[in-house]
Amino acid sequence: MIQADRVSFHYLHADHGLPETSLRVQAGEKWLVSGASGCGKSTLARCLSGLIPHLYRGLLSGEVILNGFLTTETPMWKLAEQAGMLFQNPSAQLLAATVEEEIVFGLEQLGCERAEISKRVAAAMHSFHLEEFRNRAPQTLSDGEKQKLALAAVMARDPKVLILDEPLSMLDITAEQELIQELERASGEGTAAIIFEHRETQLRLLENLNRIELNGNSPPQHTLAPCPSWTPIPPFELRLRNLGVTLGGKRVLDQLDVDFHGGEIVAIVGRNGAGKTTLLRSLAGLQKHDGALNLQGDGEPLQLGLVFQNPDLQLFNASVREEILFHIEQPDPDYYQWLLDVLGLTRYDQAQPLLLSEGEKKRLGLGTVLMRRPRHGILLDEPSLGQDEAHKKTLMDLMQHVAHLGRLVVVTTHDLELARQADRVILLGAEGIAGDGPAAEIFARQDLWKSIGLKRTQEGPLAGLPPTEGK
Amino acid sequence: MIRLGTRRSGRVAFISDSPFRRVDPRTKLLLSLGASLAIMYPLQKLMIFMLIYAIFLAWGHLLIEAGRQVWRLKWVLLVLFCIDWWVVGPDLAVSVVLRLIFLAGAFAFFFSTTTTTELRLALEWLRVPYRYAFSISLAFQSVGYLEEQWQMILEAQQSRGAWSPDGSRTNILRRVREMVALTVPAIVLTTKRAWAVTEAAYARGFDSPHYRPYQALKMSRLDLILLALMGFIGAGLVLWKGFIF
């Protein structure tokens, strides 16, 4: 079905690409391609789908045969009939005016009859629970919903090979399980699936999953040096009372009552579209809201630094140094150096931020916020996205450092491995907070997870994870 | 939809309850173009026509939307008004601004009730090749996306202290740096979006010779009535003594 023989690719004007790799995938097989950040997973995905060499310029060697078609000699539209590809960033790849039209687009290119298109659109919407969004603009969906839509658009074309680049990155565990069911169904019908993913947790549920690991440069594991101190602040409490947010006429958050304390790491977990990011934006003072947000115990105004999901929103300076030190008066050189070391960016001190890998950019985005030493703590929106295990561990260590300084750390995540390491977990559902307590306690309460629509599998919501250790 | 709203702003993305939703986009385009010819009227007759057109928009539940589109031009209109008044006089200032207001309102009718897919089909009907028609419709559609990204850039830079909503308190040099902080990410994200969409489109078979549109444009009785009405009004305008002068 797919035969890649000694394929390698080097992008023009870039020092990264794909080292020589071979892969042979038969009909109905499922493959997991893993590897550290920047090891070339996305490049391999592009080589297999034919986007390399059709859309990218660079040095390609070896060959890829996709269902009998040599990718270098076959037009892209014909390759697209064989393989469906899902990209990392669902937000940027949606190109139609409505959810329905997004799915229709690919079917129009196949030349399907109108009745056939209607049938396939209905089936795809049903499989991914998108019926209620049929006439919505894709850009108004949450990131997780966009991911589901992008998947639905790919699967509706009924390709013989599915090439999925980080398909789980934005999905909650219920949506992950639904995707896995879809993959099993497609596999049963002879469709091969190649999944490029950092998060293996739920993928372990796939039957007969084959694996290939690409070699990459993982950061060395080391214990963090003590952090140069931040200004001590008194213990504080942040009280949210009757917090509510309305977006586009829809009540996203309603009458939320919750307390946060300095020195704790709080993970907010919930279904796609539950309002997790909106809650973070409210805490950061970027979102208009009803209700009260009161800081107790510290007389200074509330100051929380928000680290956004997409680092490209923030980076604009000529070097990493300038980026981190931007608008910092009298920067502390020791602290700056400590940050670079912790974030694994030491060798990029003078590098152009926009040329870093996505994972590195994300860590740089965190660095720009931490350098400002926000008085009351940091808020992180899906920080583990695109990070390999080693970098996730570094991230967790860093969050613990900040919490030990008496600051608050609030993180929204679908990554349950990350969430279970927090001090406290808040389960956010459509009806508000469904569960709030120590991580071990919340993870033990299957009923709470079920109440917000996070499906229970045979092994529970943490299927595939090692047993929970008490914190 | 051509004018896409954003989730954050909470604006209505699309006027779905307007009777003009059922009208063929080709008819709507012709009506908008036809109506826009009225700017050649002398001022008094233009005002009468504007009143009739406003009633027409109100019937189509589009008056508020047309008002919004005009409101977006408020600063341009204000500057033009002041310049015209200063250079020539109040008569010209009123005349120019009223014509621009009418022009903006005239196209609200088309842009608020036409999806980008309908626009693409209308362009294809005008014999614009599919790949160009698709690109044009995608460009219109991306306005909403870019607007949302811009808002997110503002928030992201505000969050790290690289931009302040209260610009009056900062000096000019700092303000320039803040503009760089906003502009560079905007360019990067726009370029990335363009590339990502290109990849996504080609990965889903864009430019396939098998392409067959799902939707088809179809004229209904309402279209014929509106076109006939337009022809009637057009003829009336031409015959109306002193149409242009």
> For residue A159, how many C-alpha atoms fall within 13 Å in the half-sphere facing its CB?
33
Residue B170 pLDDT class (50, 70, 90 cuts) = low
By Cβ distance, the residue of A85, A139, A312 closest to B145 is A139
For the stretch A373-424, pLDDT in tens is: 999 999 999 888 877 777 888 888 889 989 988 999 999 998 888 898 999 9
Angle between helices B90-111 and B43-59 (to 10 degrees): 30
pLDDT of amino acid A42 = 87
Least trusted range by pLDDT, from A211-215, A368-372, B135-139:
A211-215
User: Is B204's CB within 8 Å of A157's CB?
Assistant: yes
pLDDT over threshold 90, residue A327: no
φ, ψ dihedrals at A247, nearest 5°: -125, 125
Mean pLDDT of all residues in B40-46: 81
Q: Which of A101-105, A228-232, B10-14, B26-30 has the highest mean pLDDT?
A: A101-105
DSSP B219: -
> Closest Cα of chain B to A443: distance in Å?
32
By Cβ distance, the residue of B149, B199, B204 closest to A105 is B204
User: Is B210's CB within 8 Å of A308's CB?
Assistant: no
For the stretch B99-158, pLDDT in tens is: 888 888 888 778 888 888 888 888 888 888 988 999 998 888 888 788 888 888 998 888
Its pTM stands at: 0.78
User: Is B115's CB within 8 Å of A98's CB?
Assistant: yes
pLDDT of amino acid A463 = 45
CA distance A319 to A189: 50
Chain B, 67 to 106: residues with Cβ < 8 Å from chain A are none
On whether any CB of chain B is under 8 Å from the CB of A97, the answer is yes
pLDDT over threshold 70, residue A467: no
Average pLDDT, chain A: 86
Task: Look at B166 and A416; give whichever has higher pLDDT.
Answer: A416
Residues from chain B contacting residue A105 (CB–CB below 8 Å): 201, 204
pLDDT of amino acid A85 = 93
On whether any CB of chain A is under 8 Å from the CB of B21, the answer is no
For the stretch A95-133, pLDDT in tens is: 888 899 999 999 999 999 999 999 999 999 998 889 988
> Closest Cα of chain B to A98: distance in Å?
8
User: What is the DSSP secondary-structure string of A40-74?
Assistant: SHHHHHHHHHTHHHHT--EEEEEEEEETTEETTTS
Residue of B nearest to A308 (CA): B156
Mean pLDDT of all residues in B91-99: 89
Q: Which domains are seen in chain A, by residue range? A: 2-214 (3.40.50.300), 237-451 (3.40.50.300)
> Closest Cα of chain A to B70: distance in Å?
22
| Beta-carbon count within 10 A of B110 CB | 23
Q: What are the strands, taking DSSP E only, across A397-460?
A: 408-412, 424-429, 432-438
pLDDT over threshold 70, residue A153: yes
Residue A215 DSSP SS3 = coil
DSSP A192: E
Least trusted range by pLDDT, from A157-166, A181-190, A196-205, B161-170:
B161-170
pLDDT over threshold 60, residue B12: no
By Cβ distance, the residue of B13, B16, B197 closest to A140 is B13
Least trusted range by pLDDT, from A459-468, B78-87, B207-216:
A459-468
User: Is B185's CB within 8 Å of A313's CB?
Assistant: yes
On whether any CB of chain A is under 8 Å from the CB of B48, the answer is no
Q: Number of Cβ pairs closer than 8 Å across A and B?
A: 179
pLDDT of amino acid A455 = 65
pLDDT over threshold 80, residue B211: yes
pLDDT of amino acid B183 = 92
Of A69, A78, A87, A108, which to mutate for an interface test with B (greatest number of B Cβ within 10 Å)?
A108
CA A110 to chain CA centroid, Å, is 30
pLDDT of amino acid A451 = 86
Of B195, B214, B215, B217, which to mutate for an interface test with A (greatest number of A Cβ within 10 Å)?
B214
Task: Look at A55 and A171; give whichever has higher pLDDT.
Answer: A55
pLDDT of amino acid A314 = 86
Q: Which of A220-229, B71-80, B172-181 has the highest mean pLDDT?
A: B71-80
By Cβ distance, the residue of A95, A135, A157 closest to B201 is A95
The answer to whether the beta carbons of residues A41 and A86 sit under 8 Å apart is no
Residue A78 pLDDT class (50, 70, 90 cuts) = very high
pLDDT of amino acid B1 = 41
User: What is the DSSP secondary-structure string of A271-302?
Assistant: -TTSSHHHHHHHHTT-S--EEEEEEES--SPP
pLDDT of amino acid B4 = 38
Of A46, A69, A77, which to mutate for an interface test with B (greatest number of B Cβ within 10 Å)?
A77
User: Is A154's CB within 8 Å of B204's CB?
Assistant: yes
Residue of A nearest to B207 (CA): A77
Of B120, B148, B159, B195, which to mutate for an interface test with A (greatest number of A Cβ within 10 Å)?
B159
Position B42, amino acid: P
Chain A, 264 to 323: residues with Cβ < 8 Å from chain B are 281, 284, 286, 305-306, 308, 310, 312-316
> Closest Cα of chain A to B53: distance in Å?
28
pLDDT of amino acid A175 = 80
Residue of A nearest to B5 (CA): A140
Residues from chain A contacting residue B204 (CB–CB below 8 Å): 80, 84, 105-106, 109, 153-154, 157
Q: Which of B42, B41, B40, B20 is nearest to B31 (CA)?
A: B20
